[in-house]
Structure 1
Amino acid sequence: MAVLWVLALGGVLTCGTAMMQTIKGTSELLVVTVATEETDGLRRLKRTADVNGIKLKVFGMGEQWQGGNTRIEQGGGQKIRILRKSLEKYKDRNDLIILFVDAYDVIFLDNEEQILRKFFTFFDGFRVVFSSEPFCWPNKNLAPKYPLVNFGYRYLNSGVFMGFAPEIWNLISYKDVEDSEDDQLYYTHLYLNEEIRLSMKMTLDSMSILFQNLNGASGDVKLEVSDEGSGAYFVSNFFIPPAVDEDEFCWIYNFVYNTYPLVIHGNGPSKLHLNHLGNYIDPLRTVPTKTESITTAGTFACKLISGNLAIEGNEKGNPVKWLNDSSIDIEKNDLPKLFLSIIISKPIPFIREFFENIEKLVYSDDKIDLYIYCNQIFMEKEIRRFIEIGKRRYRSLLYDDSATELSEREARAFSLKQSLSLDSDYLIMIDGDVHLNKSEALLLMVQTMNKNNLGILAPLVGQPQKLFTNFWGAISGNGYYARSENYLNIIGRKEVGIWNVPFICSILVIAKEKLTPLLNAHYYDEKLDPDMSFCSFARDNGHFLHLENNHYCGFLVISEDVASSKVHPEMYEIFNNKELWEKKYIHPYYFAALNGSVSIPEICQDVYDFPLMSERFCAELIEECEYYGKWSDGKHKDERLVGGYENVPTRDIHMKQIDFERHWLYMLDEYVRPIQEKLFIGYYKQPVESVMMFVVRYKPEEQASLRPHHDASTYSIDIALNKRGIDYEGGGVHFLRYNCTFDADAVGHSMIFPGRLTHLHEGLETTRGTRYIAVSFINP
């Protein structure tokens, strides 16, 4: 039974199936484009042509482009000349339909048969069909001359058009055109000439039945996603959607005109929107079932997966599922040469941990040339420690330190130049706030580049438990960040794959063939930061910026508000980078003591000793206090206290004096309180309170001991900060009521005991050296 499609278009009624059977047997489609160089956009066009079975012919490859910068000015006449030279042999073919598309900003959504079907079904009686748009460009003064349309876009766009070969030939050969003239203006004048328009039977696809131009119409289209392919053509008023196989599920819908276009053109400033849509409308996409494992379905196969939103994947039980890294299949001998550029251009905490991760990366060291740039003096000690190892490990190593008169912009540009001069296959530029704690990260990045033939790639990295990552899904009108509608899904990995995005930073992989055109990208706009300038250049010159979120490679350290004026800035990072802070500063047996796998001894009546802080924290706290240097004089008068009087004075420095009060209070509530609740069952107070939090210094020549006293607290802690027998002799605590003495000399261990009423105690004499302890009176 024949299916009838009816559409009122320009007063012409068209219909269907029987006619189409004849057309299929007698008409042929020739799809052509003009391109003088291979670009990412052209590769995308070819790929979407291939997967749709479209035989695309590319004319003009290798010619010098003389048609101007059509991104910002009129031009493109050279395309007409190239078409004229290439299509002359087809000029008498009445059985041939020619479809022309721009090369760098077009995507095919369906096959030749469906394109011909729509052409003959909806434009029967016409010989040439141009795409349309809502703007009269490049000469808006011509707008009144355009024929009125009852419904749809009124103005011609020459980025996509099709028609019978004789009419296409007459169109492009009507008159001579200079290379620098504007091709759209050329076609516009012909269309506005009523005699020519009627004789050639030209019309516009005003409702985007075949072609969708996005400029000025981005808000008219949306992605339609189906969990199941319909596998069928259907009719509803004025539209026919693409034929959908079982594994295809995403298409473009113009909801204003109720149509499903088959060719999408990102003309003018709409190229970023085309890139966004291109992440979904590639026919290689598939939809996994709820039980299907997450696997890529091919190049640019971005998938929707079910599951809870998880902002940051990590190796501590985060619900995010990452691809199985056993898929790495690069042989050691086949590994490409890398130029690894490390850029440290601002104060960044945990730089030692950063370099420890670099040391653990799995790769052939003899295929890595390493460059380090750092303009931060306080980080040089850790960098030089790493260099001592690296200079014997890598093929070459170059270091520009803070004494080098080199800006960050110059260092990044140098990285590209040096990588090119060393003939590296890939440049990997990594900032100091990117922790690659996945040892296979380099292998994963290289394999992704190789398998997908990418030019620029960034693996997804983000700040733990935050929304901040190393990419932007969209750009606002002022050129800065805007949140795309899929941003949360990408960082939460509800959608996975390789994404074409407008901005990436922090860690980039750049293929060798991209180095030369990108050499000056960091200088493209010196009013912008170097990374923004780089991406702006890439966007404006057709270099796609890809983000990959299939694999977990690492995370971003939060590097804002680093306490760089302190001796040990990382000690103050408990709020910004808690996991790293915890790993570095909490005692390695603390959590075992908390969960009961390590016992907490009761060394005197209701006096317990438990592991709390690492030796590194203890040493750094001492150094921070000594650097501050303003120890109290051990007298009763103390202006630091409300009332100005200390009943049991010590030589000490309050946490507030070294700007550590807020951090210490949080530490007490986060790590000490749970231990207290475990040991003293039934007492609960959260958050804890404390006013007296201080570091005490005992020295024979200053204050060697402390007289018996009760603490003004519900309970207290005393943390041993340095080593008995090495740093000092003597010391310890004596609890008079129980006649119990404890050495309290395990570095990082804390005593915890009741205050006020029951635990009168004294500090025993330090006989040599200097003893340090950290004391807190909790819940006074």
Structure 2
Amino acid sequence: MARSIAGQLALFLGFAIHLQPVHPAEPEPERSPIPADELLIFTVATKERDGYHRFMQSAKHFNYTVKVLGQGEEWKSSETVNSIGGGQKVRLLKSALEMYADREKLVVMYLDCYDVIFAGGPEELLRKFQQANHKVVFAADGRIWPDKRLSDKYPVVRSGKRFLNAGDEVLLKFEEGRGRAWNSVYDTMPVTLHGNGPTKLNLHYFGNYIPNGWTRESGCGVCDSDLLDLDTLQEIPKVTIGVFIEQPTPFLPRFLDILLNLDYPKEKLSFFIHNNEVYHEKHIKRFWEKAKHMIKPIKIVGPEEYLSQADARNMGMDICRQNKECDYYFSIDADVVLTNPKTLKLLIEQNRKMIAPLVTRHGKLWSNFWGALSADGYYARSEDYVDIVQGNRIGVWNVPFVANIYLIKGQTLRSELKDRNYFARDRLDSDMALCRNVREMNLQREKDSPSVETFHMLRPPKGIFMYITNRHEFGRLLSTANYNTSHHSNDLWQIFENPVDWKEIYINPNYSKIFTENIVEQPCPDVFWFPIFSETACDELVQEMEHFGQWSGGKHHDSRIAGGYENVPTDDIHMKQVGLEKVWLHFIREFIAPVTLKVFAGYYTKGHALLNFVVKYTTERQRSLRPHHDSSTFTINIALNKVGEDFQGGGCKFLRYNCSIESPRKGWSFMHPGRLTHLHEGLPILKGTRYIAVSFIDP
């Protein structure tokens, strides 16, 4: 076909990353540049998939004239499985070229739009075409595919690559406010980038930057293109939220509350919840009682169904797929902590077929996406991964793997992803199976000759790009690896694994004001009073102690302490008895020590304490505590319940100053010297039960 019209027009075929002649030719006298309007780009696109839109976006950026063939036609992949396909493209191109047969100065370039982006403009392309000094130019490679038996048919070249194929050693390079691909072997800047088979994911990476995806000077150049403005829609999209609780997960009640508090109309939401853990049944029940009047419908599949994770995820996705009114499917795992209530709206407005918000583990590079894949399809770190995770590069990124949380258009589920099993494949984890099925990893397998497998390589890919966005702060990931559910209030132990979440749940929200607004009170000389625990912390600590139940009874003989004798005994349980000692000492170092430095200027505590315990005052067992000094440099005394509601009476009196505090506040702590100056007593309670947490620090 090329030979039949070679005398009438210059046909320039580009299938690879950079342009190169088939064989060298004698130099000709310098010619005038070919005008850009004499260049016409041809491509075939029976469907407008993501790759097509990326190609057209790059063409528009450089002002190329593109002729798209086959639009709306059925893709006739190939007649037999023994064919490698591509014949339909040739027929479409041959037919289209007939009308340009009399355009002798016209330069025609054919590109595979699903796998190609422009990296340079028409003038640069035509200049390099003229430098090739041939009427017909193909992209070349050092490998031959798909049939190595044809290698003898190709002419031998003195330099460069020999075969018609794709692939080169290409790196990303920033220059003059834009990104370019740099061929490190030939020290050239390719005008077009083609990635297929093993190089397809590399093309996605380059496409994040080239031609105007992201630059150091201006940041993201395409993030605001093709946005969906929800305010202009006559009807807000309906969203099915798939919730997956696949292992014991800390702070689950908060996770469920966050979903109910998303900034999105409740009447437009429905829920599918898969709970695989008996431990969380109580949390799901409480959520149901709260949500059933707000969200309809809510479908819950519990552990009694023995549904595998893959089957559960397929079920959740299929609920949206089968419902034509479902505009989006929002999948979220229980280990995701959403801190941005607008997350769902922001993802919808970005208007991608499949997009995930970036979430990371606090203080770590662990995130919910991969920037690259290893040869066996597992994690590999892309060059830009750290910059994206740390927010040094902000944008919307085409990536090969997302997990934990993502949004998919309902129409995409009913078209490109219309099959009902995407989460099971080759014994992969469900999230890996989904991403591999979406990106069709089998397209990357290269064979020596045409076969059933290589046949698929020239079929149009599903073409669904998976994006990750870090344009906003969305939230973080919990660590679930060491979550122990053998206690009553298991989340109390999460201070090491998930310190940010522990602080949010258990530290009083006014704690930071101690250092910014000086809210520390001093009701008695050198007795400082400040907020430390949240209501949740107080309640769960009391519940943990009552669940343990082994109160000491306030006896003098006490085998738990050195010497076995307590001069001023209390009815208590030690933190060590319930396994909270390490957690409590870390709490002292992280949250009590900074307050100590503020109120006792010049004193630096080691945060060491041998006695840490919860005391229980009741009218039946221990009403009060006689005057005493503490065996500490300083003591903290935290009220764990409310006077007037849970008990009457009680309090603390400092005898040296004749100063009493009779209305302790729940979650607030006293801090006072332990020895010599602050002889004190526990005032009698009159009714109910009073709980306090006490530590003798730096004994």
TM-score normalized with structure 2 length: 0.84
Structure 1 match to 2:31: 19
Preserved CA contact (<8 Å) 2:556 2:567: yes
Query: Mean Cα displacement is larger for which, 555-564 or 470-479?
Result: 555-564
**1:119 aligned counterpart, secondary structure:** helix
C-alpha contact 2:373 2:380 (8 A) present in aligned 1: yes
Query: 1:207-356 counterparts in 2 under 5 A?
Result: 213-214=166-167, 217=168, 220-228=169-177, 249-283=178-212, 288=217, 297-298=221-222, 330-331=231-232, 333-356=234-257
Q: Deviations over 1:121-152 (max 9, x none)?
A: 22x2x343221122233344555665443332
Separation in 2 of the partners of 1:441 and 1:588?
23
Q: How does 1:206-605 map to 2 (within 5 A)?
A: 213-214=166-167, 217=168, 220-228=169-177, 249-283=178-212, 288=217, 297-298=221-222, 330-331=231-232, 333-394=234-295, 396-423=297-324, 424-449=326-351, 454-516=352-414, 517-518=416-417, 519-520=419-420, 522-525=422-425, 527-540=427-440, 541-603=462-524, 605=525
Moved more, 249-258 or 550-559: 550-559
SS of residue matched to 1:150:
coil
Quick one: which amino acid aligns to residue 171 of structure 2?
Answer: K
The residue type equivalent to 2:50 in the other structure is: D
Task: Give the letter for the 1:539 counterpart.
Answer: R
2-structure distance, mates of 1:100, 1:120: 17
Q: Distance in 2 between matches of 1:98 and 1:328?
A: 39
**Equivalence for 2:141:** 133
Distance 1:53 1:678 in 2: 64
SS of equivalent residue, structure 1 residue 523: coil
Alignment correspondent of 2:677: 758
Higher relative contact order (CA 8 A, sep 6+): 2
Query: CA 1:524/1:41 → structure 2, altered by over 3 Å: closer, same or farther?
Result: farther
Q: Which amino acid aligns with 1:468?
A: W
- Confirm or deny that 1:119 pairs with 2:38: no
Distance 2:83 2:273 in 1: 41
Deviations 1:225-283 (A, max 9, x none): 1244xxxxxxxxxxxxxxxxxxxx22111121121221211122111111000111124
Asked if 1:679 is matched to 2:599, the reply is: yes
Aligned to 2:119: 109
Q: Which moved more, 1:575-584 or 1:275-284?
A: 575-584
Provide the secondary structure at the position in 2 that maps to 1:363: coil
> Aligned to 2:164, what secondary structure does the other structure show?
strand
Gaps of 5+ in 1: 1-6, 158-212, 229-248, 303-324
Q: Deviations over 1:458-499 (max 9, x none)?
A: 122223333222211112233222221111222233222221
- Percent identical among aligned pairs is 40
CA, structure 1 residues 655+251, in 2 after alignment: closer, same or farther (shift >3 Å)? same
Q: 1:673 to 1:388 in 2, by over 3 A?
A: same
> What SS is found at the alignment partner of 2:250?
coil
How many pairs are equivalent? 655
Instruction: Write the distance in 2 (CA, Å) between the matches of 1:715 and 1:471.
Output: 48
Contact 2:207 2:213 in 1 (8 A): no
Which residue identity lines up with residue 53 of structure 2 in the other structure?
Answer: R
Tell me the distance in 2 between the aligned counterparts of 1:757 and 1:601. 19
| Partner AA of 1:276 in structure 2 | Y
1:38 matched to 2:48? The reply is yes
Alignment-derived partner of residue 310 in structure 1: none
The residue that corresponds to 2:78 in the other structure is: 67
1:694 and 2:613 are equivalent in the alignment: yes
- Pairwise CA distance, 1:524: 4.3
Q: Tell me, yes or no, if the aligned pair for 1:28 and 1:95 is still in contact at 8 Å.
A: yes
| Structure 2: tracts of 5 or more residues without a match | 1-19, 441-461
State the one-letter code of the partner of 1:151. Answer: S
Q: Which amino acid aligns with 1:460?
A: L
Partner of 2:444: none
Q: Deviations over 1:34-83 (max 9, x none)?
A: 4444322222223323333333334445334333999x995545544554
Check conservation: 2:208, 2:214, Cα contact below 8 A: no
Which residue identity lines up with residue 459 of structure 1 in the other structure? Answer: P
CA displacement 1:410-452 (0-9 Å, x = unmatched): 2321222211222222222222333333333322222111xxx
- Matches of 1:414 and 1:577 in 2, distance apart? 31
Would the alpha carbon gap of residues 707 and 151 (structure 1) be closer, same or farther in structure 2, given more than 3 Å must change? same
Alignment check: 8 A CA contact 1:374 1:400 kept: yes
Map of 2:449 onto structure 1: none
Q: Give the residue type in structure 1 aligned to 2:360.
A: G
Amino acid at match of 1:624: E
Judged with a 3 Å threshold, the aligned counterparts in structure 2 of structure 1 residues 668 and 121 are, in CA distance, closer, same or farther, namely same
Q: What is the alpha-carbon root mean square deviation over aligned residues? A: 3.4
Q: How much has 1:624 moved relative to structure 2? A: 0.6
Distance in structure 2 (CA, Å) of the matches to 1:391 and 1:770: 35
Contact kept in structure 2, 1:475 and 1:482, CA below 8 Å: yes
* Shift in CA distance, 133/299, structure 1 to aligned 2, threshold 3 Å: farther
> Is the Cα contact below 8 Å between 1:301 and 1:497 reproduced in 2?
no
Cα distance in 2 between the residues matched to 1:538 and 1:335: 27
Say whether the 8 Å CA contact 1:434–1:507 is kept in structure 2. yes
Paired residue secondary structure (2:257): helix
**Higher mean Cα deviation, 270-279 or 401-410?**
401-410
User: Could you say which residue in structure 1 is the equivalent of 2:14?
Assistant: none
Q: Where does residue 321 of structure 1 map in the other structure?
A: none
* Contact 1:710–1:757 (8 Å) recurs in 2: yes
Partners of 1:221 and 1:666 in 2: CA distance: 50
Which SS does the other structure have where 2:356 is aligned? strand
Q: Distance in 2 between matches of 1:733 and 1:108?
A: 77
Q: Specify whether residues 573 and 227 from structure 1 end up closer, same or farther in structure 2 by C-alpha distance, changes over 3 A only.
A: farther
Distance 2:54 2:403 in 1: 23
Contact 1:251/1:281, CA 8 A, preserved across alignment = yes
**In structure 2, what is the Cα distance between the partners aligned to 1:28 and 1:623?**
80
Q: After alignment, is 626-635 or 490-499 more displaced?
A: 626-635
2:552 match: secondary structure: coil
Within-5 A mapping of 1:599-638? 599-603=520-524, 605-632=525-552, 634-638=554-558
CA distance in 2, matches of 1:328, 1:66: 37
**Structure 2 vs 1, CA of residues 149 and 428 (structure 1 numbering), >3 Å: closer, same or farther?**
same
CA–CA separation in structure 2 for the residues paired with 1:254 and 1:524: 39
Q: Whole-Å Cα distance in 2 between the matches of residues 764 and 36 of structure 1? A: 84
Segment of structure 1 superposing worse, 623-632 or 87-96: 87-96
Tell me if the contact between 1:15 and 1:121 (Cα under 8 Å) persists in the aligned partners: no
Does residue 723 of structure 1 match 2:635?
no
